Structure 1
């Protein structure tokens, strides 16, 4: 019997229908032996992996809780209740702990976690815990901490590379304040507030800063057998990026690698079927027009030892787990698969468009 790995080695010049058969074969090899021991999806998302779960996982911590009389860095119960509201809104939007810390940092730097009905000597038109101006809506909206927090998160998620850029610069991009370094001193107390109220840690949940660092994490996942590839040469692409030997035609966008890291840390097992096709010379589907040809796309064919269709629960959970980490303007495939199955993705912040694709994997791409 020919193994899935051997079959994949001959897929370079074969049409897309043949490649689809390879995915089926790989899923059979992957799924059947472990079908009886697969961990339920909901449990995996609740546990996370390596301290890095999807929304609501260990990494995100618990729902915020304010103990009577509790203070953190001098902030009392009333201020911590506002912090809890900011955290809760972020968790509901699937914002990871790094983003929650960012919001708390801004709220501390702008108002000391107080819902002020006035601004300061520089601008007395701003109000609320985030000191938002008229562009954020009515006075009532700006004075409602939950609405104000949602507005902040929405704008923050649109800042390029907000996950890895200096927090104070991300805050400055949203707030448009006079001093871009104003918020830096408030990062540490924001971390302590988040940790005290939820048990979450911004550092342990942060995505790797660049492509090589992300690839190094993925090499560890390969060695731990948490990450496998349908095409061995795609695995080699990751290995070469990690050790610094990748050629220009075989690079992978850092955001794509970061998304795979999030997937590996959010699910028990991850199967990838496509990465940079220019490197392998493969031209199925959209050919050289595909985002794969530019190293800006990834296809997931299995999660937790279960095959993906783009419309199944795991595919939807994957999209929502990765959405907070994707650059704004990213896209998801399999829109036709979900339409036929009457499956809706619901609200997403950074995956802003979709397109049809074959229903045997979940395609994700970045701008």
Structure 2
């Protein structure tokens, strides 16, 4: 609980006040869902029922296997294994590229079969990904969803996993002898994803202008998908949608578009900061902040989990937004990631990063 003394002291410090509000809102968001927050590694390893995702970044189609279906020599039973791997990836908001990586590894390790034994080199590994004892009990490694979640958890820690050669990313996760072993399976993995979901990519729908983007966000607020830390930030979006926003209270169209993309890619989105000039708030960089110009947004929660700038969802958010951000955009929380020893990997449009408090993920446009 936030004590009365702490609250009174915070009133004189706007940034502290905002952080207390973030804590309070996260409690309201998280407790109804799970009573206690699960560690990131546990959420990733628990399988498809642990996080109610949206079908991958921007809602790719759920996989479906037709009776008697075969793809590149893989039959219905193997495609059902592939379907589970894809589903777990979608529910963890892993982009299609990562799902193809997982399918490629499963093909290269087991031929998309949930084997209860290893090979001549190492007969202690088991399951569709041929995971060793370091992945947990036999039961966990033989459970398809748990094994897939464990693979994705390690894959997401590989630097530049979205841009490096797929077989090298797979080798970094699997630590197999031949780094090129998985190369022949990349194309069949793409074919399987296309056959089961209808596409090997997923594209977010970006509204054409600020008013259209704001209108989409109003709909997300009404559905409960989008939550603002305080009503004044929500009002900024409402006014942008109905055309009544005053000049000092406008939000850059590109910022609104990025929030729309986030709302498409994740189950729920929490925003803690928008245009500070409109609210008169001057924490941190004060009037020099991009928030003062309506060119920044702070995300404090995704999928009912609080963000730190260095957790898995913050990193996923960064990679989901990167293709849609204008070149020269910036990220906060560089110090949070440095302390946690995590890296964003290669980004195309986010070209700068700076320190910020570890209670959210800051995004700003140039």
The two structures have a TM-score, normalised by structure 1, of 0.56
- Whole-Å Cα distance in 1 between the matches of residues 196 and 313 of structure 2? 30
> 1:6-41 CA deviation, whole Å, 9 max, x = no partner?
x9xxx9974312221111111112211112699967
Flag structure 2 segments of 5+ consecutive residues without an equivalent.
65-69, 73-94, 100-162, 164-193
Alignment of 1:48-63 (within 5 A): 49=54, 53-54=56-57, 57-58=59-60
Q: CA deviation at 1:332?
A: 0.6
Q: Would you say the 8 A contact 1:12–1:282 is kept in 2?
A: no
SS in 2 for 1:347: coil
2-side partners of 1:308 and 1:215: how far apart?
23
Mapped to 2, the partners of 1:203 and 1:31 lie a distance apart of: 28
Cα distance in 2 between the residues matched to 1:214 and 1:247:
17
Give 3-state SS (helix, strand or coil) of 1:58's partner: coil
1:206 aligns with 205
Please give the residue correspondences for 1:159-198 in structure 2 after superposition, counting only pairs within 5 Å. Answer: none
Distance 2:63 2:307 in 1: 28
Decide whether the 8 Å contact of 1:61 with 1:200 is kept in 2.
no
Equivalence map 1:38-53=2 (5 Å): 49=54, 53=56
Say whether residues 1:366 and 2:365 are aligned partners.
yes
Correspondence for 2:175:
none
Aligned counterparts of 2:50 and 2:352: Cα–Cα separation in 1: 25
Distance in 1 between residues matched to 2:26 and 2:96, nearest whole Å: 33
Preserved contact between residue 97 and residue 200 of structure 2 (Cα < 8 Å): no
- Does structure 1 residue 269 correspond to structure 2 residue 271? no
Q: 1:58 to 1:291 in 2, by over 3 A?
A: same
2:332 maps to: 333
Moved over 3 A (4+): 11-14, 36-49, 59-62, 90-94, 195-198, 200-205
CA distance in structure 2 between the partners assigned to 1:320 and 1:334 by the alignment: 15
1:263-283 Cα offsets, whole Å, 9 max, x none, are: 111111111000000111100
Q: 1:48 to 1:266 in 2, by over 3 A?
A: farther
Q: In structure 2, how many angstroms separate the alpha carbons of the residues matched to 1:203 and 1:345?
A: 21
Residues 257-314 of structure 1, C-alpha deviation per residue, up to 9 Å, x if partnerless? 1111111111111110000001111000000000000111000011111111101111
Question: Aligned ranges for residues 9-88 of structure 1 at < 5 Å?
Answer: 14-35=13-34, 49=54, 53-54=56-57, 57-58=59-60
Q: Is the 8 A contact 2:11 2:17 kept in 1?
A: no
Question: Structure 1 residues 288, 341: closer, same or farther in 2, change over 3 A?
Answer: same
Unpaired stretches in structure 1, ≥5 consecutive residues: 69-89, 95-149, 151-194
Root mean square deviation of aligned Cα: 3.8
Aligned partners of 2:323, 2:50: CA distance in 1, in Å? 15
1:289 corresponds to:
288
* Deviations, residues 221-240 of structure 1 (Å, cap 9, x unaligned): 10110111111100000011
Distance 2:290 2:260 in 1: 19
Q: Please state if 1:242 is matched with 2:241.
A: yes
Say whether residues 1:280 and 2:282 are aligned partners.
no
CA distance in 2, matches of 1:321, 1:27: 22
Deviations 1:328-366, CA, capped at 9 Å, x for gaps: 111110000000010111111111110000001100001
Q: Any idea what SS the aligned residue of 1:323 has? A: helix
Report the 3-state secondary structure (helix = DSSP H, G, I; strand = E; otherwise coil) of the residue aligned with 1:345: coil
Q: 1:364 to 1:204 in 2, by over 3 A?
A: closer
> What is the aligned partner in structure 1 of residue 160 from structure 2?
none
Distance 2:257 2:322 in 1: 12
Equivalent pairs counted in the alignment come to 238
The answer to whether the 8 Å contact 1:333/1:364 transfers is yes
